[in-house]
Amino acid sequence: MDQPVAAEIVNLHKTFKTGLGKPVVHAVRGIDMNIRQGEVYGLIGPNGSGKSTLMKALLGLVRPTEGSCSIFGRSSLAPDSKEEVGFLPENPYFYKFLTGAETVSFYGRLCGLSGKSLKEKVRELLELVGLADAADRRLGGYSKGMLQRIGMAQALVQSPRLLVLDEPTAGVDPLGSRDIRNIIENLKGRGMTVFLCSHLLEQVQEVCDRVGVIFKGLLIAEGSVNELTRDSDKQEILLEHASPELMERLKEMVKEDGRAVWLEDGHPRNSLESVFLKSLLEWKEKHPNPEP
Ligand SMILES: Nc1ncnc2c1ncn2[C@@H]1O[C@H](COP(=O)(O)OP(=O)(O)OP(=O)(O)O)[C@@H](O)[C@H]1O
């Protein structure tokens, strides 16, 4: 049975006027989409395809030209719909002179937290995003990946049930991206619904349960990662240490059956990103205390 819906987008259209006598821009052209409770949904699409506009409409930051958006059954245009949602924008701005702890505390106060509960929340979130050790360092000295993680802590400060992330790993190196993916997986394990957009397809593939593909304001494909990536016309057999003779025999058998058979160069490929991460992890294991 399908999970209950966390966010619903119905026949969403958004056009922008760009000036007197100039043509309007159709950023989103009639999108229907559901984000189910507890899932990680990834929206992918090239630059200018309408991802941010759709997210902003869902967050009630832009008013639909036509159609509607709702979060846990409440219209996105209603102020109380914001109570359940945390947002990390594409290029968040933070005060560089504040420390990590002060930053999260600042956003916590804006959300009405104070005293012991605020202190406890700040500690818990810095722990969750892996910045407990950097809590008292100023943001001016944080890396891009650390800033994105502080951004996630900020988005989580009011304990939302839906987390919306606009390009959470943009400009972050593969190690930093992996940290962010781990946080998303951890949040999913705690029952959080996550809606993210990205053009880093491989990362979306690794972390998302379902993916929507948006192009020129239209949702042109949607499904689970398995459904979308499976080539149902073909089957792949992986053999360990197969001898050339065995390979020849197998090829002959398949040919006798009248089917096409391909033998690439014999070995399946890992993604460059997974090779890069694996090499770094192996090196770190071998060098637990590297020289600075
Ligand atoms: N405020 C605005 N005024 C006019 N046009 C806009 C406005 N916001 C977005 N657009 C246009 O709407 C279209 C979709 O933009 P949007 O930012 O939603 O795309 P995107 O997929 O998020 O792109 P990117 O990956 O580059 O962030 C683009 O043609 C953009 O120029």
- Say what the ipTM of the complex is: 0.97
Closest CA to 164 of 139, 198, 136: 198
Residue at 157 is within a domain: yes
Residue at 153 is within a domain: yes
Residue at 90 is within a domain: yes
State the total domains in the chain.
Answer: 2
Q: What is the gyration radius of the CA atoms in the chain, in angstroms?
A: 23
CA 84 – CA 48 distance, rounded (Å): 28
Residue at 200 is within a domain: yes
Provide the pLDDT for residue 275: 61
- Domain that includes residue 264, residue range: 244-286
Residue at 237 is within a domain: no
Task: Tell me the CATH number at 15.
Answer: 3.40.50.300
What's the pTM value of the predicted model, to 2 decimals? 0.84
Q: Are strands 66-71 and 5-16 parallel, antiparallel or unpaired?
A: antiparallel
Ligand 1 binding pocket includes 56 (Cβ within 6 Å) = no
**What spacing in Å lies between the alpha carbon of 183 and ligand 1's midpoint?**
28
The answer to whether residues 280 and 220 belong to one domain is no
More confident residue, 107 or 290: 107
Q: How many residues does the chain have?
A: 292
- The secondary structure of residue 170, as a DSSP letter, is T
The answer to whether residues 198 and 144 belong to one domain is yes
The answer to whether residues 16 and 98 belong to one domain is yes
- Cβ proximity of 43 and 54 under 8 Å: yes
Query: What pLDDT, in 10s, does the model give residues 245-272?
Result: 988 888 888 888 877 766 655 666 666 5
Q: Work out the pLDDT band at 125, boundaries 50, 70, 90.
A: very high
The answer to whether residues 194 and 253 belong to one domain is no
The answer to whether residues 117 and 262 belong to one domain is no
Average of per-residue pLDDT across 187-216: 88
The residue nearest atom 4 of ligand 1, judged by CA position, is 16
Cα–Cα distances in angstroms (integers) from residue 114 to residues 99, 111, 136, 158, in the given order: 18, 9, 19, 12
Query: What pLDDT, in 10s, does the model give residues 35-77?
Result: 999 999 999 888 888 999 999 999 999 999 999 999 999 999 9
CA 13 – CA 32 distance, rounded (Å): 10
What percentage of the chain exceeds 70 in pLDDT? 90
Ligand 1 binding pocket includes 24 (Cβ within 6 Å) = no
The residue nearest atom 8 of ligand 1, judged by CA position, is 53
Amino acid (one-letter) located at 108: G
Q: Does an H or E element contain 104, and which?
A: helix 100-110
Residue at 110 is within a domain: yes
Residue at 236 is within a domain: no
123: tokens are: 């500690």
**What spacing in Å lies between the alpha carbon of 50 and ligand 1's midpoint?**
6
Amino acid (one-letter) located at 289: N
The answer to whether residues 187 and 264 belong to one domain is no
Average of per-residue pLDDT across 131-148: 93
The answer to whether residues 66 and 187 belong to one domain is yes
Atom number of ligand 1 nearest to Cα 45: 21
Closest CA to 125 of 99, 142, 150: 150
The answer to whether residues 110 and 184 belong to one domain is yes
